[in-house]
Amino acid sequence: MTRRELEVPALDVTGLVHVNHLVDDFEGTAARYAAAFGAREYWRGYDEEQNRDANLSVIGELCVELYAPRDRTSLLGASLQRFGPGWHSFEWQVPDLAAAKAALDARGVRVTTYRPGEFLMTHPADCHGMLLELCPLDMPNDPRLEPGWSAEPWRAHPLGVAGLTAISVAVRDREAATAWLVDLVEGAEVLSTEPRTEADATRVRVADHVVELVGSRTPDGPVAAYIGRWGQRLRSVELRVLDLDRAAKHLADQGLGVVPGSRDGAIAVSAEDMAGVR
């Protein structure tokens, strides 16, 4: 049943804040982002409750947060121990955190971490693999909020980043995941469904970005293998570049493996060379 039939509140999302990358080599990964993607760090700190180091960096309009737990017993540390480094979650900004939690509670979504007025995190098993972080606050010193901010320097960078295309989530049941996401988020809109060689991808606009839900059509394809190894979860972040050949050369010059992307006309960085992500 939809939220309208159940009369449950929708989740009001105003934008994507950042994607979260769980790592074991904090300094090394931060340096790799800076060299390969022109990432500019604007904040770093330590969270005592979660026993982790973290930083925030921008790559054009995209913000990436690195999580580096100092143990292997906390929630983040246990995830790193079990799965290794890789994409962890993504954060949406919401105007009212208590109202957002009510929308999740109404759907039976478990909230694993909740700091009233600050942020919450959901259990991915209740969200088709999407580990959502919700926050009502602006990030401290976020350059994207400054007057005169421009992402133009990243177009001039050797990688030639022109924007964020989508964040892509590998799911078992693409149609069910799509229906769940559209029902959850106020104003979420299905843009398209694209057939690919071994998978289908549905693109859903959420506020200022696109969430791509990818479901395998074969039992032994790369998406199915990914889910078999790591479960449903954030699989990739796709950036739009000005020149694919120029981008591939730059990445190779940085010592990163360049492999075929998930669709025609795309390339990816080898996950082995980028702390588990592509």
What are the residues whose beta carbons fall under 8 Å from the beta carbon of 13, sequence distance 6 or more? 92, 93, 94, 185, 186, 206, 207
State the average pLDDT over residues 125-139: 97
Residue 2 — very low, low, confident or very high, per pLDDT cuts 50/70/90?
low
Query: Highest mean pLDDT range out of 87-96, 190-199, 263-272?
Result: 87-96
Q: Dump pLDDT digits (tens) for 190-213.
A: 999 999 877 999 999 999 999 999
Inform me whether the pLDDT recorded for 50 exceeds 60.
Answer: yes
Query: Span 202-227, mean pLDDT?
Result: 95
> What is the band of 6 on the pLDDT scale with cuts at 50, 70, 90?
low
Strand order in the sheet with 233-241: 189-195, 199-206, 209-216, 161-170, 233-241
Classify strands 209-216 and 161-170 as parallel, antiparallel or unpaired.
parallel
pLDDT at 17 over 60: yes
Cα separation, 277 vs 158, in Å, equals: 20
Mean pLDDT of all residues in 35-39: 98
- The three-class DSSP label of residue 221 is coil
Domains contained in the chain, CATH given: 3-145 (3.10.180.10), 159-273 (3.10.180.10)
Q: With bands split at pLDDT 50, 70 and 90, how would you rate the model's confidence at 262?
A: confident
d(CA 173, CA 196): 16
Q: What rounded mean pLDDT belongs to the chain?
A: 95
Please say if the pLDDT value at position 3 is more than 70: no
Residues 151, 214: Cα–Cα separation, whole Å:
28
